Amino acid sequence: MRNQQSTQLLFELSRAGRRAHRLGDLGVPSVNVDELFADEALAETPPPLPELAEGDVVRHFVGLSTLNMSVDTHFYPLGSCTMKYNPKRNERIASLPGFLNVHPLQHESGLQGLLELLYELQGMFAEISGLPGVSMQPAAGAHGELAALLVAAAYFRDQGSDRSVVLTADSAHGTNPASAQMAGFKTKTVKSNANGLVDLEDLKAKLDDKTAVFMLTNPNTLGLFDSQIEEINQLVHDAGALIYLDGANMNAILGITRPGDFGADLMHYNPHKTFSGPHGGGGPGAGPICVRDFLAKYLPGPVVTRVENEGASGDDDRYTYHLTSPSVDSIGRVRSFFGNTGVLVRAYIYLRTYGGDGLRHVSEDAVLGANYLLSKVKHFLDVPHGDRCMHEFVASATRLKKEKKLSAMDIAKRILDYGFHAPTVYFPLVVDEAVMVEPTETESKQTLDAFVEALFRITEEGEELIHDAPHSTRISRPDDVTAARRPILKWTDAAGESAT
């Protein structure tokens, strides 16, 4: 019964006349609701809502939750999209009434505690990145990319420059060229060399007086820190262009090195990846951006500023915090109000919990875990780019596909039966049959060993068992393309009639 209630729609479970509760006599005079509203405000018939007992509703949603994979229930080795455990203390503190019940139109005099937190967070982001200008308004990583490229465009307009080209690496996240196009730039792709790093000769050939920005991920999506970064920095800046750092892989370098120190002029953070905010499900995100001082005036606003109060008697009333409107040079607002502050509050709590030394340990443990997995996996999966990595690595199922007809997709599907979420497959595109793995710093050695054991067992299993996997999920291998292009949406009205 539980499975049926979990997998049927509420409309399908509906039975006419069922109620979550039944009220007794009111004991006070009743009023006809029709008398409270104008005729044009009332529907002619009640909406076709499902009719269910409270127990039916609770069992439905609890049952659905047991079908989900999540970072609270499973290991998520999802390379290039860090999925680490979210400490519950972040959730508890972010749910305090002073944070949870803030209204976006509330006057800043009643927001001093929150604004102080956000001001300090701006400073933390600046310190970690080595870039002093910070805007926390963008609502996601890709949104941060777009905002930063709009900042670059405004800067070059002020310089009277007609630079119109953005260079992206062939191993870049797909958002890089998309963001560049949306910001009004043309894009060119810079190839990787045989070692998985930027091909310097190709970069030199494509750098010219039209180049505005080189978008670089470092460490890159192959899990490699580009040892040529000083030369890249010199080449790009000598050409009069800026370097943008895709901050998706910051989890590998926290407290170890800073993008501003190795040449980046602009960057974004993914707080949901790097600082453990809730991740996925289409919920709110954040994409703070950091820039060099000469670019700060172009940042989207508002930003949080601080003014020292004259005659203050103690720390409690020493400063007043303000949401300062965008300057005349700013690219303006990039979303409504300030931004998704709930995500930013969680990032602040995470940073205050770990501190500077703790952040370095986060990255060291993430790198250690990835290298441990790599050392185990390389005995049965090819790892094209070396015996060392940063926070993630990319293996390849090419040999297995030739010898055993076992593809990266087969591995991803079968690993679900072992209780693990699938790693990223078929990205980056520069590796054939890519299997991309990132353990993060939050998983134990026992979990990593169990994951390796499951991968190895899969490579030893028969073709028929693997090609029909997963066997433990309600749906095995849907036609993804057809599902995306022709989704089936079904509901049942109170009379039991179905419609699509």
Q: How confident is the model over 316-359, as pLDDT tens digits? A: 788 999 999 888 999 999 998 888 899 999 999 999 999 999 99
In this prediction, residue 288 carries a pLDDT of 97
Q: Give the tens place of pLDDT for each residue, 78-129.
A: 998 899 998 999 999 999 999 999 998 999 999 999 999 999 999 999 999 9
In this prediction, residue 176 carries a pLDDT of 96
Q: Is residue 78 part of a domain?
A: no
1 falls in which pLDDT band (50, 70, 90)? very low
Higher pLDDT, 143 or 39: 143
Indicate if the pLDDT at residue 396 is higher than 90: yes
Tokens linked to 304: 């949080």
2 falls in which pLDDT band (50, 70, 90)? very low
For residues 402 and 257, membership in a common domain is answered with no
Global pTM reads 0.89
For residues 338 and 419, membership in a common domain is answered with no
For residues 54 and 114, membership in a common domain is answered with no
What CATH number is attached to the domain comprising 347? 3.40.640.10
For residues 348 and 363, membership in a common domain is answered with no
For residues 9 and 48, membership in a common domain is answered with yes
For residues 11 and 59, membership in a common domain is answered with yes
Indicate if the pLDDT at residue 489 is higher than 80: no
For residues 419 and 475, membership in a common domain is answered with yes
Q: Is residue 417 part of a domain?
A: yes
Length reported for the chain = 500
For residues 144 and 171, membership in a common domain is answered with yes
For residues 297 and 175, membership in a common domain is answered with yes
Which residues constitute the domain of residue 377?
Answer: 357-484
Q: Please give the DSSP secondary-structure letter assigned to residue 422.
A: P
Q: What percent of the chain has pLDDT over 90?
A: 75
Instruction: State how many domains the chain has.
Output: 3
Q: Is residue 159 part of a domain?
A: yes
Q: What percent of the chain has pLDDT over 70?
A: 95
Q: Is residue 402 part of a domain?
A: yes
| 177-183 mean pLDDT | 96
For residues 252 and 299, membership in a common domain is answered with yes
Q: Is residue 498 part of a domain?
A: no
In this prediction, residue 380 carries a pLDDT of 95
**Region of 312 on the Ramachandran plot (φ > 0 left; ψ -120 to 50 alpha; else beta):** beta
281 falls in which pLDDT band (50, 70, 90)? low
In this prediction, residue 400 carries a pLDDT of 94
Do the Cβ atoms of 433 and 407 come closer than 8 Å? yes
Query: What span, in angstroms and rounded, lies between the C-alpha atoms of 216 and 237?
Result: 14
Backbone phi, psi, residue 390, to 5°: -95, -115
For residues 226 and 283, membership in a common domain is answered with yes
Tokens linked to 499: 């419609």
In this prediction, residue 496 carries a pLDDT of 55
